[in-house]
Structure 1
Amino acid sequence: MLGIQGLLARLVDVILIVAGALLASHIRFEDLTQTRVDGAFITFSVALALVSFPVFGLYESWRGRSLLRLSGQVSLAWLLVQAGGLVLMFSVHRTDMISRLWFIYWTATSAAGLIGSRLVLHSVLRSVRHAGMNLRNVAVVGGGVHCREVVSKVQASPASGFRMSALFEVGAGEVFAPKGIPVFENFGKFSEYVRNSAIREIWLALPLSEAPTMLRFVNEFREDLVNIRFIPDVRSMALFDAGVVDLIGAPAISLVASPLPARAMVQKEIFDRLFAALALLALTPLLLIIAIAVKCSSRGPVFFTQFRKGADGQVFRIYKFRSMRAHAEKAGVVTQATKGDPRITRVGALLRRTSLDELPQFFNVLRGEMSVVGPRPHAIEHDEMYQKVVDGYIHRYRIKPGITGWAQVNGFRGETDRLEKMQKRVEHDLYYLQNWSFGLDMRIVIATMVKGLASSNAY
């Protein structure tokens, strides 16, 4: 059953979507007598938004969570709603009645409203929390460096809505005593303080070896309205940020696994297919021009194909516009292009410098073999070589490879004639895996379009 806050949040979103459509109509049709909107389209988008937004967690509490990620979730959810609306209008043959400019203005204004309303709300809550209101009192249980880091993060981010209220020290050694925070070593006194001080959060900042201690706290507060959260110290074991997943009905902490949760993978998959389809439609004239230029530049096929490894090491055939003269290489050997490489045609040099030779990979994205953003795939022969000498190289296969990536927009593209270059590229790929968000994907896409079409490292 929805609470009053959930109903209000949904009502505000509906108002913003409808208001965005009306404002877009006013912008598009300056003459008020010509102003018109498609009521069926708006109604469907509102209904789809009310169904879709909860799936993306937009009505959940974002206390203490990234606002950048929230903005990305809102953008993705709204874009998918609008894409669904276009598909419906196309299926009922009503697209000719919709102004493209009105649709673009509506999408942009409503997106700004949906994101802006949430940022304003969080700004207000931030001010309220800085004033000492709307806070949840937290008691932290732990010891050592990990516990200190958790306590420091709570104290350093009052706007998150949590206030450090007590510490229970576990383990021998020097007692960690934050200023103004009561520290307990006696279990009974700590339990009494938690109950008498309206503490509603107990965070167990403990290593996995402290299972008996965790069970003791869970049993003690089993009959109390206290949230007990486990913040495990698994950094020494986990390659990516450890997350809890449901595995055959039991909670499991992922130490080494795909860093993207299933819901994120679905969102990324939907975005990839839609983006690739729209890109191919928009770029069709350019693709035809490039194909003719490649065919006229030298003998050989228009496309260059090569086997690469994708998600989970699955091999697929990648497509590029051919940029080199047709030549044969020894079996098991792939020679990277170098500066002034005589194999590169004049048209090919331009294509490689501007990355236009990569455009056919949108077909790979549409086929589900690649993603718009992700680690760039390498020749299989290079994979086998670098996997043996570069730490973490194998984990690039945790997700689908991308047309562009975090390493590429940061300058790590082109020839890898030194091992250090490949190590830096892999470091950026692993950073992307550890910090993925829809907002980061959008940042990479925009950076690629703005500055990524030309690079001094590409030849």
Structure 2
Amino acid sequence: MDSRSLLKENASTLEFVQRFLDPFVVVASGILLYGIRFESWDFPMNYVFVLIGGFLFCLAIFPFFDMYRPRRGASLWAEIQILASAWTVVCAGLIIVLFATKTSTYFSRIWIGQWAIAGFVSLVAFRVTLRVGLRFFRRRGFNLRFIAIAGAGKLGRDVANRLAASPWTGLKVIGFYDDDPRIQRQVLEGVPVRGGLHCLPKEVVELGIDQVWIALPLQQDKQVKSLVAHLSRLPVQVTFVPDIYGVHLLNHSIGEVAGFPVIHLLESPLSGVQGIVKAVEDKILAVLIMLLAIPLMLLIIIGVKLSSPGPIFFRQLRGGLHGERIWVWKFRTMKHHTEPPEKVSQARPGDHRITAFGAFLRRTSLDELPQFLNVLKGDMSIVGPRPHAVAHDEFYLQQIDAYMLRHHVKPGITGWAQVNGWRGETGEIEKMEMRVKHDLYYINNWSLWFDLRIIFMTIFMMITGKNAH
């Protein structure tokens, strides 16, 4: 047997073993913590039962989070997020069982808390070790999947380049297949063009090809149908790479509607269960923050009134979800003045309209506190793309192609763009383009953990007061 195919042929065995190693890692961390905390390895039966319960919960719940499917191209962070969700459900299930059976008082709460943390850390450490080990073997030619690309055009070459730049995935391109006679037998991006599309089915068997990636232009749909028909008779995985990457995508995914396979190009990630999670997160955090901030807001109200004559609050019509107009509230930071309805002048460094107290509020972002009322009302989220004045939306819509994609989710008090320095004035098109780029990254990669990360980064920036005026 070829040693390079050893891990590949035992991939299903590795997956099966991993399903049992995860619960063992969790139990081992609980046993170790008990021995350290109580300086004894003599386990009472109630602790034995809860450890067995943890084992069984992991065994039953983890597969529902799709934790054991191949993740050659997925990032470690994405895997950790899934792991955190699954482990949270396991811990919640165990706690519910303990309270339901009225046995929670028989356990050390400190030990349970430590086990919850240590179990997660141990699972992450196990995943990291497994990834490092697999990458070590894959970089040396073991555990490979051999890829043939149908189509040697721009899209096919881009696929080959990206896979070559990621050897840790274990995906090795061994040949292009294309009907263009001008490139036959040439070497493109370090990969040979082995022949036309008609040669591919035969060489799947001869060369031991594991996967065929079809990267043909949309106008070659007849060739795609014919190729898939021939490959369907062979034991090979077929992946279609749609020629859609010249357009802006938003949370794109594959689904099925009325029996038809469909590719969603522009879709909000915050719908269904995820939308409910986001809404609950917003409401709970908004209520907690408003309650904690009441004394501070009273002081700010006094400061605003003493800083200059005028109202306490400033409100502005801005673009909300799906482009709908919403009133956004802030503490007033400027001297009271009026502007024509069609004109919105952004604050600039050294702007004479900003009061001394207003400059402090802007630097610390405390002027945004009233927007938690917008969150409670449902107009905004705590985290999301910052809402812009309607006049700015209308202007940038004409200047930046993907600008309105950011309106597929509710605007936020803070966002990924803001914690990366793209806050404050955006007078130049390039600055707004960078803000939009970060907003779309947030939408495409949303998760509860991503939101919490941005919130913590925002708190840090409030202390340092960067990029605000």
Deviation at 1:343, TM superposition (A): 6.2
Query: Separation in 2 of the partners of 1:405 and 1:457?
Result: 14
Residues 62 and 235 (structure 1 numbering): CA distance in 2 closer, same or farther, change over 3 Å? same
Query: Separation in 2 of the partners of 1:440 and 1:421?
Result: 23
Number of aligned pairs? 451
Residues 311 and 30 (structure 1 numbering): CA distance in 2 closer, same or farther, change over 3 Å? farther
- Find the counterpart in structure 1 of residue 82 from structure 2: 73
Query: Separation in 2 of the partners of 1:319 and 1:39?
Result: 55
Query: Separation in 2 of the partners of 1:41 and 1:200?
Result: 44
Deviation at 1:77, TM superposition (A): 4.0
Matched, 1:290 2:296: yes
Residues 385 and 150 (structure 1 numbering): CA distance in 2 closer, same or farther, change over 3 Å? closer
- Find the counterpart in structure 2 of residue 146 from structure 1: 155
Deviation at 1:444, TM superposition (A): 3.5
Query: Separation in 1 of the partners of 2:101 and 2:299?
Result: 39
Q: Deviations over 1:106-134 (max 9, x none)?
A: 44322222222112112222222233332
Q: 2:262 aligns with which of 252, 265, 273?
A: 252
Query: Separation in 1 of the partners of 2:343 and 2:98?
Result: 51
Q: Is the 8 A contact 1:258 1:399 kept in 2?
A: no
Query: Separation in 2 of the partners of 1:109 and 1:50?
Result: 18
Deviation at 1:105, TM superposition (A): 3.9
Show the 5 A alignment for 1:79-98. 79=88, 82=91
Matched, 1:131 2:146: no
Q: Is the 8 A contact 2:152 2:176 kept in 1?
A: no
Residues 412 and 183 (structure 1 numbering): CA distance in 2 closer, same or farther, change over 3 Å? closer
Query: Separation in 2 of the partners of 1:4 and 1:401?
Result: 46
Residues 418 and 136 (structure 1 numbering): CA distance in 2 closer, same or farther, change over 3 Å? closer
Matched, 1:277 2:284: yes
Determine helix, strand or coil for the equivalent of 1:407.
helix
Show the 5 A alignment for 1:359-374. 359=369, 361-362=371-372, 364-365=374-375, 369-374=379-384
Query: Separation in 2 of the partners of 1:218 and 1:380?
Result: 49
Matched, 1:62 2:62: no
Residues 441 and 288 (structure 1 numbering): CA distance in 2 closer, same or farther, change over 3 Å? closer
- Find the counterpart in structure 2 of residue 9 from structure 1: 18
Query: Separation in 1 of the partners of 2:19 and 2:436?
Result: 42
Q: Is the 8 A contact 2:304 2:332 kept in 1?
A: no
Query: Separation in 1 of the partners of 2:144 and 2:231?
Result: 21
Deviation at 1:395, TM superposition (A): 1.2
Query: Separation in 1 of the partners of 2:216 and 2:395?
Result: 40
Structure 1, 369-378 or 77-86: larger mean CA deviation:
77-86
Query: Separation in 2 of the partners of 1:31 and 1:368?
Result: 52
- Find the counterpart in structure 2 of residue 405 from structure 1: 415
Matched, 1:455 2:465: yes
Matched, 1:234 2:241: no
Determine helix, strand or coil for the equivalent of 1:128.
helix
Determine helix, strand or coil for the equivalent of 2:214.
strand
Query: Separation in 1 of the partners of 2:274 and 2:53?
Result: 21
Residues 131 and 415 (structure 1 numbering): CA distance in 2 closer, same or farther, change over 3 Å? closer
Residues 192 and 457 (structure 1 numbering): CA distance in 2 closer, same or farther, change over 3 Å? closer
Matched, 1:313 2:320: no
Query: Separation in 1 of the partners of 2:282 and 2:112?
Result: 17
Gapped runs of 5+ residues in structure 2? 1-11
Gapped runs of 5+ residues in structure 1? none
Show the 5 A alignment for 1:38-437. 53-79=62-88, 82=91, 105-175=114-184, 176-177=186-187, 183-187=193-197, 189-240=199-250, 243-255=253-265, 257-258=266-267, 260=269, 266-267=273-274, 270=277, 273-274=280-281, 277=284, 280-281=287-288, 283=289, 286-299=292-305, 306-321=316-331, 323=333, 331=341, 334-339=344-349, 347-359=357-369, 361-362=371-372, 364-365=374-375, 369-434=379-444
Query: Separation in 1 of the partners of 2:190 and 2:300?
Result: 72
Query: Separation in 2 of the partners of 1:316 and 1:50?
Result: 47
Return the letter of the residue paired with 2:225.
L
Structure 1, 334-343 or 446-455: larger mean CA deviation:
334-343
Determine helix, strand or coil for the equivalent of 1:387.
helix
Deviation at 1:429, TM superposition (A): 2.3
Identity of aligned residues (%): 36
Residues 245 and 82 (structure 1 numbering): CA distance in 2 closer, same or farther, change over 3 Å? same
Return the letter of the residue paired with 1:270.
V
Query: Separation in 2 of the partners of 1:332 and 1:98?
Result: 65
Deviation at 1:206, TM superposition (A): 0.9
Query: TM-score when scaled to structure 1?
Result: 0.79
Q: Deviations over 1:349-371 (max 9, x none)?
A: 43321123334545655665444
Q: Is the 8 A contact 1:294 1:302 kept in 2?
A: no
Query: Separation in 2 of the partners of 1:274 and 1:115?
Result: 25
Determine helix, strand or coil for the equivalent of 1:252.
strand
Structure 1, 174-183 or 224-233: larger mean CA deviation:
174-183
Q: Is the 8 A contact 1:272 1:372 kept in 2?
A: no
Deviation at 1:59, TM superposition (A): 2.0
Determine helix, strand or coil for the equivalent of 2:172.
strand
Query: Separation in 1 of the partners of 2:340 and 2:101?
Result: 55
Residues 450 and 170 (structure 1 numbering): CA distance in 2 closer, same or farther, change over 3 Å? farther
Structure 1, 194-203 or 331-340: larger mean CA deviation:
331-340
Determine helix, strand or coil for the equivalent of 2:182.
coil
Q: Deviations over 1:1-40 (max 9, x none)?
A: xx7655543433333444445656677x57779x999999
Residues 241 and 303 (structure 1 numbering): CA distance in 2 closer, same or farther, change over 3 Å? closer
Q: Is the 8 A contact 1:141 1:170 kept in 2?
A: no
Determine helix, strand or coil for the equivalent of 2:228.
helix
Determine helix, strand or coil for the equivalent of 2:204.
helix
CA RMSD of aligned residues (A): 4.3
Return the letter of the residue paired with 2:302.
C
